[in-house]
Amino acid sequence: MCVTCGCSDNGESKIINLAKNEVEHFHTHILPDGTTITHAHIDDEIPDLVTNTHAKVHKKTITLEQDLLNKNNLIAAQNRGWFNGRNIFAINLMSSPGAGKTTLLIRTINDLKSRLTISVIEGDQETANDAEKMRETGCKVVQINTGTGCHLDASMIERGLKVLNPPLDSVVAIENVGNLVCPALFDLGEKAKVVILSVTEGEDKPIKYPHMFRASQVMILTKIDLLPYIQFDVQKCIAYARLVNPQIEVFLVSATSGVGLTDWYSWLKSSF
């Protein structure tokens, strides 16, 4: 059990290659001394996406946490070098479930496909539903299922990139598992973290989950087309976000109506 985030360290993650109809399973076992053992096998067809996982709580949880984070950071640094060497701009999209990450990303890909090549690493505990939606845009996509894990980590991204094989001079969008806590703690090698907050969630989320907003370079307020129908103080939300992170950039958008997307697209293209 990981004391950093409370999810399972011993268990199985899956990388789903939709193009080849394959699933690569990674079984990770962490021994009491902190040693990590990972082994893999590939199924030649995608089965029902049901994962059996197991976890054990070890006594040396603090040491184990440090070992895991140190290993993650080393792999993240390798990922960052891989991205830089290929002029790939990688962004880590994070939010709570249902905030609108997938909808916004699909709209972004469709609107920018003639000007910007975007590939996607899709993270969920189970199913390939969102990856299938991404695939309909024509972009390259790989699904990573984390099983009981509540976030993506750098080693998952490293393995996913081997399957995804994004082109040079492009963007890789990593859609993390829906969670406002754990994804912020794990460096994936990305250039920027982007937190997505919908106006249906409450304006106090930046101060209730400060690490997520402190770690992010951008906050996108989504579903602003719903503002006439709900109680949400936009200015208070922005003030809270800048209280924990004075440098955070803020975009107000509606992926449905298209309002505000121009500013988001301009940031994405200028950052790349």
The pLDDT, as a whole number, for residue 66 is 67
Separation of alpha carbons 271 and 110, rounded Å: 19
Half-sphere exposure of 112 (CA within 13 A, CB side): 24
Please state the domain extents for the chain: 88-271
Alpha helix positions (H), the chain: 61-85, 101-112, 129-135, 154-164, 205-208, 210-215, 234-244, 261-271
Structure tokens belonging to residue 268: 């994405």
Beta bridge partners of 13: 26
The pLDDT, as a whole number, for residue 15 is 81
Closest CA to 18 of 155, 132, 126, 133: 132
Low-confidence ranges of the chain (pLDDT < 70): 1-12, 25-66
The pLDDT, as a whole number, for residue 244 is 98
The pLDDT, as a whole number, for residue 34 is 43
| Burial track 81-119 (b if 16+ CB lie within 10 A, e otherwise) | eebeeeebbbbbbbbbeebbbbbbbbbbbebbeeebbbb
**Which helix (DSSP H) or strand (DSSP E) does residue 14 occupy?**
strand 11-17
Structure tokens belonging to residue 233: 């103080």
Tell which CATH classification among 3.40.50.1580, 3.40.50.300, 1.20.970.10, 3.30.70.890 matches the domain 88-271: 3.40.50.300
Q: Report pTM.
A: 0.81
For residues 182 and 5, the answer to whether their CB atoms sit within 8 Å is: yes
For residues 106 and 78, the answer to whether their CB atoms sit within 8 Å is: no
Q: Which position has the token pair 């950071």?
A: 73
Residue 194 burial (CB count, 10 A): 25
